[in-house]
Amino acid sequence: MKSIESVLAFIVEIEKLKAVQRKTRPVGLQRYENSAEHSWHVCLSALMLKDYADQPVDIDRVIRMLLIHDLGEIDAGDTIIYASETPELKEEEETGLKRLLAILPGDTDHYLALWREFELGESADAKFAKAIDRVPPLLHNLHGDGHSWRDHQVPKEKVFDLNSRIGDGSQALWAVLKKQLDGAVEDGLLK
Amino acid sequence: MKSIESVLAFIVEIEKLKAVQRKTRPVGLQRYENSAEHSWHVCLSALMLKDYADQPVDIDRVIRMLLIHDLGEIDAGDTIIYASETPELKEEEETGLKRLLAILPGDTDHYLALWREFELGESADAKFAKAIDRVPPLLHNLHGDGHSWRDHQVPKEKVFDLNSRIGDGSQALWAVLKKQLDGAVEDGLLK
C-alpha cells in the first residue's frame, strides 16, 4: 500500500513535464509544445516508423526510452538542440531524473541506465529513439513556416548537419526528410 | 519512401490530439489538460504501476493500447466520463480512429483491434489499462480542490461507483485511491 502511494506521488510529480515549454509549435496550433505531449508524440511516431529502422530494434524498449527521455527537463528545462548539448546540461538533467526516480519504491537503476543509453546514443535502440526524437520539430518547422529556425536564427547548414543524425537510426527516414528540407530551402523557409 | 511519407502525414495529423481539451487541470497548472499529454501520463503511470495488476499483464501491449486509446477524440472530442459512454460516441470515436489509421501504409487492423479490446475492457490488459486511465483525473481532483467534480456537479456516489472499476485492474490500487477519496469526502472536497 505504502509503495502504491509512492508511485502516485511520482505520477503527480512528473505532471510538471506538462509545464515544460519546448521551442516549436505543433502544426496548426499557435502555442508552443510542451515536453509531455511531445513525449507521447515520439512514442507513437517510433511505433509507426519501427519498420524503417536500419538495425533491428526492440520497439518496446525504444518506447520506454522515449517515455522517460525528457523527465530530466522538469528540473533542467528544455534547451533548443541547436544551442548544443553541453555536459553541464546533461548532468543537470541526470540529477533531475535521479530526484524523480528516488520517489519511486524499489530499485529504479534500470530506468537511469535506459536514460543514459538514450543519451549516449550508441545502441541500435538509442540511435533509433534519438532519430525519432528529431522528427516532430522538423515537421513543425516544415509545416509551420520554419518558425523555430527563424526565431532562433538557425542557418540551414546547422539544420542539415544536426538532423543528419536521423540517418544513424534510419537512412530511409533521413532521405525522405532531407528531401523535404531541400524543398524548404528552395521555398526560402530555411536559409 | 512513399510509405514513410504516409507515416509522416499520420504523425502530423495525430498532432491534433494536442488540441483536444479534457475536463481536469494538471496538478499545479491553471489550464486544462489535453489528451496528448494525458496519453503520455497514463503510459508512464501504467509502467510504474504494472506490478500491482491483479492478473498478469503484457505491459508493452498495455502501453501501446494507451498510446492510441484517445486517438478517436481527434474527430469526436473529449467527453467527461461521468456523462456516460454512449454507443453513439464510441462509434464516432471508432470512425475517427479508422480515418487516421487509413493514412498509414500497410495493414493497420491490429491497431483497431487493440483499441476495441481497450474499449471492451474485458481482457486483463484492457482492464489494467482502463484502471490506469482513471488515475490521473482522480489525482487532479484530489490535489486540485475537486475542481472537476464541482464544475460538473458530480456527486460522490457517482465518483465512487464509476472509479471502482479501477479495482477490476488492481484491487490494491483501488484500495489506496478509495481511501484518498474517503479523505476528500471528509474534507468536503467531494460531496
- pLDDT greater than 90 at residue B83: no
Cβ-nearest to A176 among B1, B44, B47: B1
Residue A41 to residue B37, Cβ atoms within 8 A: no
Cβ-nearest to A173 among B4, B67, B177: B4
> Distance, in angstroms, between A15 CA and closest chain B CA?
7
pLDDT digits (tens, 9 = 90+) for A166-183: 999 999 999 999 999 999
pLDDT digits (tens, 9 = 90+) for A111-127: 999 999 999 999 999 99
Which pLDDT does position A58 carry in this prediction?
A: 98
Task: Summarize the confidence of residues B18-46 as an average pLDDT.
Answer: 97
Contact, A56 vs A170, CB < 8 A? no
- pLDDT greater than 70 at residue B84: no
The residue of chain A nearest to residue B19, with distances taken between CA atoms, is: A29
Provide the percentage of residues in chain A whose pLDDT is more than 90.
92
Residues 6+ apart with CB under 8 A from A67: A39, A43, B40, B43, B44, B47, B63
* Amino acid residing at A59: I
* Amino acid residing at A125: D
pLDDT digits (tens, 9 = 90+) for A27-38: 999 999 999 999
> Distance, in angstroms, between A57 CA and closest chain B CA?
14
Residue A48 to residue B176, Cβ atoms within 8 A: no
Which pLDDT does position A1 carry in this prediction?
A: 55
Which pLDDT does position A143 carry in this prediction?
A: 97
Residues 61-80 in A contacting B (C-alpha not used; CB under 8 Å): 63-64, 67-68
Residues 6+ apart with CB under 8 A from B107: none
> Distance, in angstroms, between A157 CA and closest chain B CA?
23
**Mean per-residue pLDDT over chain A, rounded:** 95
What is the number of other CB atoms lying within 10 angstroms of the CB of residue A42?
25
**Mean per-residue pLDDT over chain B, rounded:** 95
Q: What is the pTM of this model?
A: 0.97
Is the ipTM beyond the 0.95 threshold?
yes
- 3-state percent helix, strand, coil for chain A, nearest multiple of 5: 70, 0, 30
Provide the percentage of residues in chain B whose pLDDT is more than 70.
98
**Would you place residue B75 in the very low, low, confident or very high pLDDT band (cuts 50, 70, 90)?**
very high
The second-level CATH assignment, the architecture, of A2-186 is Orthogonal Bundle (1.10)
A138 CB neighbours in chain B (<8 A) are none
Rounded Cα distance between B55 and B53, Å, is 6
Task: Summarize the confidence of residues B168-190 as an average pLDDT.
Answer: 97
Residue A172 to residue B68, Cβ atoms within 8 A: no
Domain boundaries, chain B: 2-186
